[in-house]
Chain A
Amino acid sequence: MIKIQVEDTDGTKREISFEANPSSNLMEVLTEEKFDVPAICGGMAGCGTCHVAVLTNADKLHTPDDDEEFMLDSLPNFQEGSRLSCQLPLTDALDGMEIKVLGDG
């Protein structure tokens, strides 16, 4: 079981847990858990509305691919640790991570 700490756009914090599943991604978990993640494009790195800041363990994650980089570049609230949660598969690398939902800017 993977556990992570999530801060929503309204500042509330909650721990959520889920099973590792490389064919699913963090955006899907966040929307199911009703965080403020509109995820308009449904996971294509195409809209930037699942933008999160990874506050801890960011170095354990794979580096963003071109599509993700491109979208991150266009987000005005980009910050250190910025990632698109739809591009983060549910692997053990996420365990213990703290993230902040940044909304759709």
Chain B
Amino acid sequence: MIQTDICIIGAGPVGLFAVFEAGLLNMRCHLVDVLPQTGGQLSEIYPKKPIYDIPGYPSILAGDLVTELEKQIEPFKPTYTLGEKLMKLDKRGDRDFLLETDEGTQIECKAVVIAGGLGSFEPRKPALENLEKFEKSKGVHYMVKDPEHFRGKKLVLAGGGDSALDWTMFLAEMAAELTLVHRREAFRGAPDSAAKVQELAKEGKINLVLNSQLKSLQGGDQLESVIVSSKGEEDKEIACDYLIPLFGLSPKLGPIADWGLNVDKRAVEVDTRDYSTNVEGVYAIGDINTYPGKLKLILCGFHEAALMAHSAYAYMNPDKKAATLKYTTVSGISGFE
């Protein structure tokens, strides 16, 4: 069981900066993110794009901003649970929350900050009628958590980006058979990887089915085959034990919608005095929240983090007087041991 003062859901720029603001008021933070790395969409979607509206930086690459934020919060020794999705938020009493991830990691904390951007990044799913029937270990996997699971099996992978190419190369040796289905003639992933995949196909180690799309799934209790439609050809049936569609990630609000918070469309309603939600002790900052006049800007999220921290301090310390605002220029930073 992880114990902390504040559990921050979402390790994007705003979640990271919240550690700093909380740290100034002597509150420790634990961050949870569904992605295996910090930075949220900055790392996942546009690490190499410049951002021009971070005060003090005429231009900074998104990936560099994440690195700098990590450096900035380091004195406050944040801890992380990455690659896991927060599923349950249970308020057991005042200043007493129990959170649990999809992997069963439990976090006990006194306040919760949702800094989840537009939600958790989840795999994009192909539009196939009976897809759900074969999810949850019935044959369809959206990511490769344990490659050994696929040793000696017949696999169909679908997609044309880097992850489809990378996993094709990795699994080619282990699988009994591997077919890669891609909608186009050419791959858009890294040219090196695309060349290697073409090579594997030439050597007969994998089957490439190009200009083709997944059409339907067949099987009883377990997946038995996929039907693939190709331009100008008859549909093909490919026997397989597993289908691994790799179409990238897309943010979904996900479990946040089930935590009793007031949600408007895809955002959590907050009070702009302190970015608190309707559940006392739960805050929402950054792109995930909404209020009149909301602008989805990183710099607005930073501001929200500062106000949140002062309110969270008051919530967590009902017997103390409100935290005094101290300037870092005056007091410096007293990090944690």
* Residue count of chain A within 8 Å CB distance of chain B: 19
The secondary structure that dominates the B interface is loop
For the complex, give the distance between the alpha carbons of A99 and B124 in Å.
22
The secondary structure that dominates the A interface is loop
B45, A74: Cβ atoms under 8 Å?
no
User: What residues of A have a CB within 8 angstroms of the CB of B118 in the complex?
Assistant: 38, 40
For the complex, give the distance between the alpha carbons of A44 and B49 in Å.
9
Which range contains the number of B residues in contact with the other chain?
20 to 34
Question: Known interface pairs A40-B251, A46-B45, A49-B250. Does A76 touch B188 (Cβ–Cβ under 8 Å)?
Answer: no
B266, A105: Cβ atoms under 8 Å?
no
B147 within 8 A of A: no
Question: Known interface pairs A48-B248, A76-B247, A105-B247. Does A41 touch B46 (Cβ–Cβ under 8 Å)?
Answer: yes
For the complex, give the distance between the alpha carbons of A69 and B160 in Å.
11
Partner of B127, one of A69, A73, A77: A77
B160, A47: Cβ atoms under 8 Å?
no
Residue of A nearest to B128 (CB): A76
Question: Known interface pairs A73-B183, A73-B188, A74-B247. Does A40 touch B160 (Cβ–Cβ under 8 Å)?
Answer: no
A2 within 8 A of B: no
User: What residues of B have a CB within 8 angstroms of the CB of A105 in the complex?
Assistant: 124-125, 127, 247, 250
B245 within 8 A of A: yes
Q: A49-B251, A76-B124, A105-B127 are in contact. List 6 more A-B contacts (CB 8 A).
A: A41-B45, A46-B45, A46-B46, A69-B188, A76-B127, A76-B245
Residue numbers of A with Cβ under 8 A of B are: 38, 40-42, 44, 46-49, 69-70, 73-78, 104-105
User: What residues of B have a CB within 8 angstroms of the CB of A75 in the complex?
Assistant: 124, 247-248
A74, B41: Cβ atoms under 8 Å?
no
Contacts A/B (CB < 8 Å), 6 sampled: A38-B251, A44-B49, A75-B247, A76-B126, A76-B245, A76-B247
For the complex, give the distance between the alpha carbons of A46 and B45 in Å.
6
10 tightest A-B contacts by CB?
A76-B126, A74-B248, A46-B45, A70-B188, A76-B247, A73-B188, A104-B250, A74-B161, A73-B160, A105-B124
A60 → chain B closest CB, angstroms: 23
For the complex, give the distance between the alpha carbons of A38 and B251 in Å.
9
